[in-house]
Amino acid sequence: MIPIQTADSLLFNKPALITAIQTSPLTVKLLQLGCLPGKQITILRKAIGNSPIYVQVGTLYLALRAEEAAQIIVETELDK
């Protein structure tokens, strides 16, 4: 069984595919921001302490808190 990987654990500049958003109070906010299943997400930068995390989702650039990025379930090329 493959462990669940979340966006906060991605390596820099290694794209992944969003597969789901975990159910939480942040779910609607993340979906409204464009973090939709099927979109590609890439970590561009992390601040000291790993929060905020600067990501690219499709053509959008977002700064997410680590807790928000941890709600985004992803699949990398290695997972396939």
Domain boundaries, the chain: 5-79
Note the pLDDT tens digit of each residue in 16-67: 999 999 998 889 999 998 999 999 999 999 998 878 999 999 999 999 999 9
Q: What is the pTM of this model?
A: 0.88
User: Is the Cβ–Cβ distance between 21 and 7 less than 8 Å?
Assistant: no
- pLDDT band at 4, cuts 50/70/90? confident
The pLDDT score that the predictor gives to residue 49 is 83
Rounded distance, CA 48 to CA 21, Å?
Answer: 25
- Sequence-distant (6+) residues with CB within 8 A of 80 are none
Q: Kindly report the CATH number that applies to the domain delimited by 5-79.
A: 2.30.30.90
3-state secondary structure of 77: helix
